[in-house]
Amino acid sequence: MLLKAFILGGLICVIGQLLMDLTPFNITPAHILVGYVTTGAVLSGLGLYQPLVDWGGAGATVPLSGFGHSLAQGAIEGVKSKGLLGALGGGLQATSIGVAVAIVFGLFFATFARPKG
């Protein structure tokens, strides 16, 4: 399972790097990040991202396309349980733990890390 995650996660990263290096447009890392979240959400909505998660595990869920997948799945579940308004809250509820952890760890390291320079 670890090798599959490494291959899939690496492939996702390679695609982003190739887009930045080989396209004639000025594609920045910010464009790649937004594109990954959007692509993950669209593929999830079409039912095409879950097979990647089933095959590659963390190689599909850790990159930002996995965040888009989580948002889409939360919105779908929210609509099923609460109707159309559940689409907004469902995506936020599904991803809130990950966002909260990122904020807490960011605060922790910003408080206690001693940067050089």
Q: What is the pLDDT along the chain (117 residues), one digit of tens a residue?
A: 899 999 999 999 999 999 999 988 889 999 999 999 999 999 999 999 999 999 999 999 999 999 999 999 999 999 999 988 888 899 888 999 888 999 999 999 999 988 776
Q: Which of 72, 75, 68 is nearest to 89 (CA)?
A: 75
How many Å from the N-terminal Cα to the C-terminal Cα in the chain? 40
Query: What's this model's pTM, rounded to 2 decimal places?
Result: 0.83
CA distance 112 to 117: 16
CB count within 10 Å of CB 45 equals: 16
- The answer to whether 45 and 72 are in contact (CB under 8 A) is yes
Q: Which of 47, 57, 52, 50 is nearest to 6 (CA)?
A: 57
CA distance 22 to 11: 16
